[in-house]
């Protein structure tokens, strides 16, 4: 009881202080805020845009449906003085979505003028999310209003990713679309799709159809059309989808349909994660070339993740064929790993993709192509060395959502690990070359995760990561963030995301709210084609 009383007063104090220091209940917190003095009642909102765009039309429809969560409030009175028009001005109709796209926006709300101005549709999407969060609901008189404000906003980092693992547990397509909803609401802009690993190969291939013998079940497979729908749907949130096919380690699932691809090492085979590709076989590289040439066009992003982590080179040296090849070539295991990565670079070049790897090859002594983007899962000290070597890097080691103790700190309540994620700045203890950090990614490895518990394990803990990657470095006080994140997690739950509370409060919801693992908008086949081809 005493703990609850202390927590209640701590939250109350944080709310009072926060209203002075961070007056908007917006997550992630904007870069520049100038408060107005008016509070405008609103019953209906019409969004207009100066450009024609199927992609942005989906976003406008989405937020129009989200603005008023309580359907007992009228929002359709055409001549009501509290009906407003939100005018969106986008200065370019180019819908190209690649790394570094401009996501900045200006949002001005004042009496009789509601304006969003932005360079791209993706900045407009971020502005719509901010606008949505500015709408407040008053339970006492059953009304909505919006605060007058001027906001100039942009992300701190251009790469704000989330890794989803669909290999250790198959996650149905509709659940992935639902995940994209939650990531888009929090202004993440990359879905890192860890799609294949040692335990399963859930991706259809027309070139090598036996690969899906490595799936958990014939029904646990992503078709090409499934992938296209995921990529198109993500684009309506300004989210890039980057696949990861983890090689040369963690390759056992490749070998179920094509056993000639993988090494043979009985002493290591008890752990399926120990089985790597057989890189002594030239046909392995032909296979990878053909397969990646088939798969890469489904993902329009310039980046392609090839894993590279946790390679067990002892399996190579136990396989007589591979060991004889290494001896003939005069290769150590590091040389063999280098040989693989060099060949993989040639494949990536042929499909016009930039390679991403985990930091393991560098730890093993491999010299990667200087253009390689390195995702660091191990430690800040490894990150510093990688930055000093001239590589561009992504930070992940501080944001493993599958961990109970992500940063060595133990909390009485597990959800409070959000504070550790929030406090983990990418540049902490980095003394040089921090400009080589492109951003970071949260990771949710799926050994104990599937569509049943994904939401409640990720949210609201990941909200802290979203703000750390978007907001100014100076926005870093847990006590000030807590009331804002508390309100946002309530808002997410009203949108159908099972994001729970962080402190005692009341989150009003519709009585008939049902959590469904489905996207909030269903794209038609024609919309998918238009979005992907724009």
CA 453, 10, 492, 141 torsion: positive or negative?
positive
Torsion angle (degrees, nearest 10) of CA 290, 292, 297, 303: -150
Angle at which helices 478-494 and 2-21 cross, to 10°: 100
Nearest Cα to 174, choosing from 224, 221, 226? 226
How many Å apart are CA 53 and CA 93, to the nearest integer? 8
DSSP element (H, E) containing 30: none
DSSP class of 395: E
- Looking up tokens 């392995």, which residue turns up? 284
Nearest Cα to 168, choosing from 449, 456, 451, 454? 449
CA distances from 370 to 98, 177, 389, 392 (A): 20, 34, 9, 9
How many Å apart are CA 27 and CA 18, to the nearest integer? 13
Neighbours of 106 (CB within 10 A): 17
How many Å apart are CA 470 and CA 467, to the nearest integer? 5
Query: Can 310 be counted among the known catalytic residues?
Result: yes
DSSP secondary structure string for all residues of 190-217:
EEEEEEEBTTB--B--SSSGGGGGGSSS
Q: Which of 204, 310, 341, 447 is catalytic?
A: 310
DSSP secondary structure string for all residues of 511-530:
TT----SS-SSPPPHHHHHH
DSSP class of 302: S
DSSP secondary structure string for all residues of 99-161:
TT----EEEEEETTEEEEEESSHHHHHHHHHHHHHHEEEETTTTEEEEEEEEEEE--S-SEEE
What tokens does 26 get? Answer: 């917006």
Looking at 351-477, list the stretches that DSSP marks H as alpha helix, in order from N- to C-terminal side.
Answer: 360-363, 380-388, 418-423, 454-458, 461-470
Q: Which residues of 132-144 are buried (b: 16+ CB within 10 A; e: fewer)?
A: bbbbeeeeeeeeb
Do 234 and 241 form a contact (C-beta atoms < 8 A)?
yes
Collapsing DSSP to helix, strand or coil, 417 comes out as helix
How many Å apart are CA 274 and CA 521, to the nearest integer? 41
**Residues marked as catalytic:** 310
């Amino acid at each position: 009881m005493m703990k609850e009383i202390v927590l209640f007063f701590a939250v109350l104090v944080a709310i009072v202080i926060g209203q002075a220091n961070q007056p908007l209940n917006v997550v992630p917190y904007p870069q520049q805020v100038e408060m107005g003095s008016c509070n405008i009642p609103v019953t209906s909102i019409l969004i207009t845009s100066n450009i024609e765009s199927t992609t942005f039309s989906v976003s406008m429809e989405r937020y129009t449906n989200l603005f008023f969560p309580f359907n007992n409030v009228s929002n359709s009175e055409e001549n009501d003085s509290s009906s407003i028009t939100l005018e969106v001005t986008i200065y370019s109709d180019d819908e190209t979505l690649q790394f570094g796209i401009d996501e900045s926006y200006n949002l001005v709300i004042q009496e009789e003028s509601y304006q969003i101005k932005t360079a791209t549709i993706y900045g407009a999407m971020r502005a719509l999310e901010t606008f949505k969060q500015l709408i407040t609901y008053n339970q006492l008189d059953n009304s909505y209003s919006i605060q007058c404000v001027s906001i100039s906003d942009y992300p701190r980092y251009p790469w704000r990713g989330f890794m989803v693992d669909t290999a250790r547990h198959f996650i149905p397509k509709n659940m992935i679309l639902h995940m994209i909803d939650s990531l888009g609401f929090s202004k993440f802009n990359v879905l890192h799709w860890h799609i294949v690993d040692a335990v399963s190969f859930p991706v259809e291939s027309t070139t090598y159809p036996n690969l899906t013998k490595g799936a958990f079940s014939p029904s646990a497979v992503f078709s090409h059309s499934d992938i296209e729908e995921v990529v198109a749907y993500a684009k309506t949130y300004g989210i890039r989808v980057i696949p990861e096919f983890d090689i040369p380690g963690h390759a056992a699932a490749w070998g179920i349909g094509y056993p000639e691809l993988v090494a043979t090492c009985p002493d290591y085979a008890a752990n399926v994660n120990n089985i790597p590709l057989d890189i002594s076989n030239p046909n392995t590289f032909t296979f990878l070339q053909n397969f990646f040439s088939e798969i890469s066009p489904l993902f329009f992003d310039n980046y392609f993740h090839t894993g590279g982590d946790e390679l067990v080179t002892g399996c190579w040296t136990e396989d007589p064929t591979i060991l004889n090849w290494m001896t003939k070539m005069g290769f150590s295991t590091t040389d063999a790993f280098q040989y693989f990565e060099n060949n993989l670079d040639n494949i990536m070049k042929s499909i016009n993709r930039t390679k991403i790897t985990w930091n393991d090859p560098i730890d093993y002594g491999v010299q990667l192509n200087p253009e390689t983007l390195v995702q660091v899962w191990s430690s800040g000290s490894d990150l510093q060395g990688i930055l000093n070597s001239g590589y561009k890097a992504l930070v992940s080691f501080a944001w493993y959502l599958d961990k109970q103790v992500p940063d060595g700190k133990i909390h009485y309540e597990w959800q409070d690990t959000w504070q550790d994620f929030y406090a983990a700045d990418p540049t902490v203890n980095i003394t040089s070359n921090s400009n080589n950090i492109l951003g970071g990614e949260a990771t949710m490895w799926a050994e104990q995760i599937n569509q049943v518990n994904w939401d409640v394990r990720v949210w609201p803990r990941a909200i802290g990561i979203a703000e750390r990657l978007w907001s100014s470095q100076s926005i870093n006080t847990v006590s000030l963030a807590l009331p804002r994140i508390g309100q946002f997690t309530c808002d997410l739950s009203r949108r159908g995301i099972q994001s729970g509370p962080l402190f005692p409060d009341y989150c009003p919801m519709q009585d008939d709210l049902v959590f469904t693992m489905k996207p909030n908008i269903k794209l038609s086949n024609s919309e998918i084609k238009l979005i992907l081809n724009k």
